[in-house]
A and B are shown apart, each in its own frame.
Chain A
């Protein structure tokens, strides 16, 4: 028995180690391909440059950084209030039987392939924006709305978990002091679950920044500084997705370099989410 345990332990260790090292290799590869170009162009010119014309050797990705920022910001603006409201509703007001149906349904939203979201946005949302608000319709606004929906499952399920993980005496304590149900939720439970809710928002941001397919279909992909929510735009991910097929040389390296920046942004977001959920547990 002992010997068998040892063997299983070794095998698991090997598997864990190899998956970590594959991740490490991928990161190493991206950095290896991307960093030399950032060095060649100069980090400042690369990150703050506004011109992206690969054929002329100008590689400035500021429009894409700004595009990613706006789309994510818009998604959060829509997804957070909606997601938090759903989470509160699910954990506090929904009868258990209905919640048992709703919860997996919401999880299912996360399983819909992003190309479907993109397709839906292209057919329904883009014409609506074009007809009623003007502009090309393929825009930051359309992208934000779609992304807002795509991050809902993340925000709802993590926020709801953290609300339900609260000790029941927070709520009963507040009610016994003469608070209404809503006051107990808003003044005691939501603040107590704050770190979990913030973590859900950060994970949602990570998802929004990383989304590629739906954004390629909806954003219009123009390489210019967006000036309004009705402008079309390009994000860091869509930049890679669109051009990778035909890029070579410096151009190809510049796409990896875009990936490096993306990688760093997402690392920062994820580690802050982890730090926050650690603090919640302690």
Chain B
């Protein structure tokens, strides 16, 4: 097996909501073009960790970050870093589909437009390419200019993925992207992730153990703000080192 590059590395990462510490000394290497799943009970800090990777945590008032996160070896918490540029490199798909109240086309075109692309033809190409990559094109090609809010939830979520792809990021963060979806829509997103893995580094938070086991290459188990265990998915699920991980993945956590 070839040596995998580290895409994101966190070192001694702490995060506080006011005086409450939500992340405790997180150390992790996230590998390039792999799917990394983060699991753990509700409230253990998975979403907070994900948001630390594109600095959207700091949009929440009264919060504080300590430690270091490197993207391709470059510190993202360095003062003076271009945060807007960082968020273009590290895209995010939210738990609930959150399309803008605009047309399907305008939703996907948002990213390219924000990047300063004005050529109509170029934007149209990007929209089509992203919708195809998100496996949504065939379903919406004939109604690109109708409201995105009329799509089903599963379609909306794929639209949100397309919207991220149109920005051409390097990393895609997904926070429980399937929790609002039915099994068929979930399956579609999972297939899509396998396809996207060829070009992107994916970090996904999920509560669904089967999903984590099925889709991911690496898995991390969070508990009470700590990253308790991290390793290849097969190891974490079949021979966890920590008793608490074992209890959780086998459903005996409580």
A binds B: yes
> Which residues does chain B contribute within 8 Å of A26, judged by CB atoms?
none
Question: B83-117: which residues lie under 8 A (CB-CB) from chain A?
Answer: 84-85, 87-88, 91-92, 94, 96, 98, 100-102, 110-111, 113-115
**A169 lies within 8 A of B114 (CB):** no
Q: Known: A183-B114, A187-B110, A187-B113. Contact between A177 and B87, CB under 8 A?
A: yes
Residue of B nearest to A177 (CB): B111
**Does A179 belong to the interface (CB within 8 Å)?**
yes
Q: Known: A183-B114, A187-B110, A187-B113. Contact between A178 and B98, CB under 8 A?
A: no
**Does A174 belong to the interface (CB within 8 Å)?**
yes
**Complex Cα–Cα for A178 and B56 (A):** 10
> Which residues does chain A contribute within 8 Å of B216, judged by CB atoms?
none
Q: Least Cβ distance of A184 to chain B in Å?
A: 9
**Does B59 belong to the interface (CB within 8 Å)?**
yes
Count of chain A to chain B residue pairs whose CB atoms are closer than 8 Å in the complex: 59
> Which residues does chain A contribute within 8 Å of B84, judged by CB atoms?
178-180
Q: Among A167, A170, A177, A188, find the residue whose CB has the most chain B CB atoms closer than 10 A.
A: A177
**Does A113 belong to the interface (CB within 8 Å)?**
no
**B100 lies within 8 A of A179 (CB):** no
Count chain B residues whose beta carbon lies closer than 8 angstroms to a beta carbon of A.
Answer: 24
> Which residues does chain B contribute within 8 Å of A180, judged by CB atoms?
84, 114
Residue of A nearest to B93 (CB): A176
**B94 lies within 8 A of A177 (CB):** no
Residue of B nearest to A173 (CB): B98
Count chain A residues whose beta carbon lies closer than 8 angstroms to a beta carbon of B.
Answer: 17
Q: Least Cβ distance of A75 to chain B in Å?
A: 30
Residue of B nearest to A191 (CB): B102
**Does B135 belong to the interface (CB within 8 Å)?**
no
**A178 lies within 8 A of B101 (CB):** no
> Which residues does chain A contribute within 8 Å of B102, judged by CB atoms?
191
**Does B204 belong to the interface (CB within 8 Å)?**
no
Q: Among B54, B94, B110, B115, find the residue whose CB has the most chain A CB atoms closer than 10 A.
A: B110
**A174 lies within 8 A of B110 (CB):** yes
Q: Which of B87, B101, B113, B115 contacts A176, CB < 8 Å?
A: B87
**B56 lies within 8 A of A179 (CB):** no
Q: Known: A187-B110, A187-B113, A191-B102. Contact between A178 and B96, CB under 8 A?
A: no
Q: Which of A169, A179, A191 contacts B98, CB < 8 Å?
A: A169
**Does B164 belong to the interface (CB within 8 Å)?**
yes
Q: Known: A172-B56, A172-B59, A187-B110. Contact between A177 and B101, CB under 8 A?
A: no
**A176 lies within 8 A of B111 (CB):** no
**Does A217 belong to the interface (CB within 8 Å)?**
no
**Does B212 belong to the interface (CB within 8 Å)?**
no
> Which residues does chain A contribute within 8 Å of B56, judged by CB atoms?
172, 175-176
> Which residues does chain B contribute within 8 Å of A174, judged by CB atoms?
100, 110, 114
Q: Which of B96, B98, B111, B114 contacts A170, CB < 8 Å?
A: B98
Residue of A nearest to B115 (CB): A178
**Does B167 belong to the interface (CB within 8 Å)?**
yes
**Does A192 belong to the interface (CB within 8 Å)?**
yes
**B92 lies within 8 A of A176 (CB):** yes
**Does B126 belong to the interface (CB within 8 Å)?**
no
**Complex Cα–Cα for A175 and B87 (A):** 8
Top-6 shortest CB links A-B: A178-B88, A169-B98, A176-B92, A178-B87, A179-B114, A173-B98
